Amino acid sequence: MRIVMMFDFPALSERIREIVPEADILTLSPTDPLDQLGRVDVVLATPGGSQTLRRLLDHQPDVGWIHILGTGVDDYPIDLLRGRLVSCSKGATAVPIAEWVLAMMLAHAKRLPSSWASVPPEQWFMADLDTLEGKTLGIIGFGQIGQAIARRALAFDMNVICHMRTHRSSGMSGVESVASLDEMIPYADHLVLALPSTAETVGLMDTARLSRLKPGSHLINISRAALIDHDALKEQLDSGQIARASLDVVSPEPLPAGHWLYQHPSVHLSPHIAWNGPRSHERMSQAFLDNLRRWCAGESLQGAIDTCVGY
């Protein structure tokens, strides 16, 4: 079995050989020649590696299985993946992302970091702080990340509602599934985008939907920047209709110096780091290793991608 990795990760190669001792593991850089590569059975790709993967597939169209070591495949044009067996490490970083969302909601409610004192304040004991208790959290998308967020929000006695592409029960006690996205949005004090970027969801939060958010609400995006019309977002932030936007994803990345998102007083911006945690890389790698065992046994893969819809 020949496995091509689009990055150099010796420790992962050792773990692959524990499962498939006879594996021929090769590392492919964007400029490596392909003429002597031979048949490729499995490709372990990275987010943003579409050019390298396209070059490989043009040369080796019959690759058996592609696993992308990330939680989504929207970095890859769908034509490159359509009709192929593709999986990714869905849900591997759900815990740190959910913790980041809770941190952003608490920071907004408790006026952090502005409520910290570095000089004697005007008054002690009193401050205009809010609470999460009794507030409504709306989650758009209810996969593993959305569910991890919901569990933690319920522990703070929040009311949790969610919207899914195909309406069904949330399957989680205390979480109400709402069929209409436009009907759900005005109820949310905090609204989290936790759904994939596809042709159907690009521009989901446009001027019309952003204007439907509850006055003084908090928009949180841990998904993909393309879901939000950022010019429309700026208008809603400037008007105060939306009190806060906490964004871990922007476009382009890296965001250039001087961009308005860096300076806007109502934006909490982080550089696409919400997924980071002590075990994030380990869990993403483990998702591939678990699937490698399944693939060798002829079993269905976890985190399989429907290449027709893109997630």
* Whether 145 and 161 share a structural domain: yes
Helix (H) or strand (E) holding 245, with range, is strand 242-247
Contact (Cβ atoms closer than 8 angstroms) between residue 64 and residue 42: yes
pLDDT digits (tens, 9 = 90+) for 204-231: 999 999 999 999 999 999 999 999 999 9
- Over 90: is that where the pLDDT of 254 sits? yes
Q: Which of 133, 137, 139, 135 is nearest to 156 (CA)?
A: 133
Q: The domain that contains 261 carries what CATH number?
A: 3.40.50.720
The question of whether 253 is a catalytic residue gets the answer yes
**Of 14, 183, 253, 299, catalytic:** 253
- Domain span at residue 248 reads 94-269
- What pTM was estimated for this model as a whole? 0.94
- Over 90: is that where the pLDDT of 74 sits? no
| The token pair that represents 153 in the structure block | 């929000």
**Of 55, 272, 283, 294, catalytic:** 272
The question of whether 272 is a catalytic residue gets the answer yes
* Whether 148 and 186 share a structural domain: yes
Query: In the prediction, which pLDDT does 218 show?
Result: 98
CA 264/CA 277 separation, integer angstroms? 27
Helix (H) or strand (E) holding 208, with range, is helix 207-210
* Whether 103 and 205 share a structural domain: yes
The question of whether 54 is a catalytic residue gets the answer no
* Whether 122 and 171 share a structural domain: yes
**Of 209, 224, 244, 268, catalytic:** 224
* Whether 106 and 34 share a structural domain: no
**Token match 């780091």: residue?**
273
Query: In the prediction, which pLDDT does 302 show?
Result: 96
Contact (Cβ atoms closer than 8 angstroms) between residue 304 and residue 291: no
| The token pair that represents 126 in the structure block | 């009193």
Q: Peptide bond before 113: cis, by omega within 30 degrees of 0?
A: yes
